[in-house]
Amino acid sequence: MKIRSVLSAAVLAVATTVSATQALAQERFTLRLAETWGPNFPIFGDTTKRFAENVEKMSDGRLRIRIDSANKHKAPLGVFDMVKAGQYDMGHSASYYWKGKVPETLFFTSMPFGMIATEQYAWFYHGGGMELMQEVYEPHNMLSFPGGNTGVQMGGWFRKEINSLEDLQGLKMRIPGFAGEVFAEVGVNPTNIAPGELYTALERNTIDAVEWVGPALDLRLGFQQIADYYYTGWHEPATELQFLINKDSWEELPADLQEIMRVAMRASAYDMLIQSQHANAEAWASIKEEYPNVQIKQFPDDVFDAMYAANKKLLDEAAAESDMAAKIIKSQEEYKEKSRAYTDISERAYLNTMAEVE
């Protein structure tokens, strides 16, 4: 009788577990995502839409993502707080926007004179970057994943040509992140202005220069109509957006849906990189044809030298103030050195060769 009772209890336990697993497999979930961007924002907004579509298809409708753009939640730079508090399950934004809350977050977007997109993705997924990012976000009950890359961003639109370091003194420029701090070190007055106000600010001389993204998104805002000098980039060589996820919301999902999320985020991030390349090529062709006033410029050597020195100084200060920052900076610098040695004999060598023969 005892054996029969034990067997009956075991069978019941197995049946209950199987039943619960099957029920969980059939359960449907909806996650709410707040994005920093406005509705139908090109490229950035395409990325979240593509992500939501992929998740729903791969999960056979068991998981849906509901996207609220900035016009809906009214807090484009409040995504960190809303996801942390559980007001939203997810967010799509850029990690360096949170440097005022958690200074170490800014390292996971892009750093001046840092890695290009392929090198940075390799660092994230194979060089320890993901683990370091999670170490930073863990205390805030969040997960962070790469959320799409713009590639090298342009250095900004200037109404006056920059011929020397002296020309930067007192110049008012919209530029965020660590690059803004670097520019401040060399005499610029950096500021951050909402995207919808950038054209007016530049037109009315509220600012003297503006950095946004690249031709595809810059063309849309019309900077080429009021600024003649378009400078090449140095400050954001691989600008990575992010998917933020509330950890409690994540842990409520079955393991298979978590994996679907991982795959969909990774695929959407890659799609954004290649979409950015295509859209920038198309937009730059339009600018060249329709706006012959636009001149591509590089900053003079004395400006680059000063910015490079300022960047190193600020990195040293950040490392001295925070053990976590020191660990991230060391990891990025060591990985860039290793990866760049190969980039130099592959992509760079190829492009240099083509420049000579074309």
What is the predicted pLDDT for the residue at 328?
A: 98
What is the predicted pLDDT for the residue at 6?
A: 47
- Tell me the residue range of the domain where 201 lies: 153-235+292-321
Q: What is the b/e burial string over 99-127, where b = at least 16 CB atoms within 10 angstroms of the residue's CB?
A: beeeebbbbbbbbbbbbbbbbbbbbbeeb
Whether residue 136 is found in the same domain as residue 196: no
Q: Which domain-ending residue is among 246, 278, 310?
A: 278
| Nearest CA among 24, 37, 56 for reference residue 261 | 56
Whether residue 183 is found in the same domain as residue 304: yes
| Nearest CA among 106, 130, 123, 117 for reference residue 338 | 123
What is the predicted pLDDT for the residue at 10?
A: 47
pLDDT tens, position by position, 219-234: 999 999 999 999 999 9
Per the annotation, binding residues for substrate are 153, 174, 211, 236
Q: Find the mean pLDDT for residues 12-39.
A: 73
Mean pLDDT of the chain: 93
- Calculate what percentage of the chain has a pLDDT beyond 70: 93
Whether residue 138 is found in the same domain as residue 165: no
Per the annotation, binding residues for Na(+) are 212
The domain tally of the chain equals 2
Whether residue 208 is found in the same domain as residue 73: no
Q: Which CATH number belongs to the domain containing residue 163 in this structure?
A: 3.40.190.10
The three-state secondary structure class of 64 is strand
Give yes or no for residue 12 having a pLDDT over 70.
no
Residue 4 lies in a domain: no
Whether residue 119 is found in the same domain as residue 130: yes
Per the annotation, binding residues are 153, 174, 211-212, 236
pLDDT tens, position by position, 251-278: 999 999 999 999 999 999 999 999 999 9
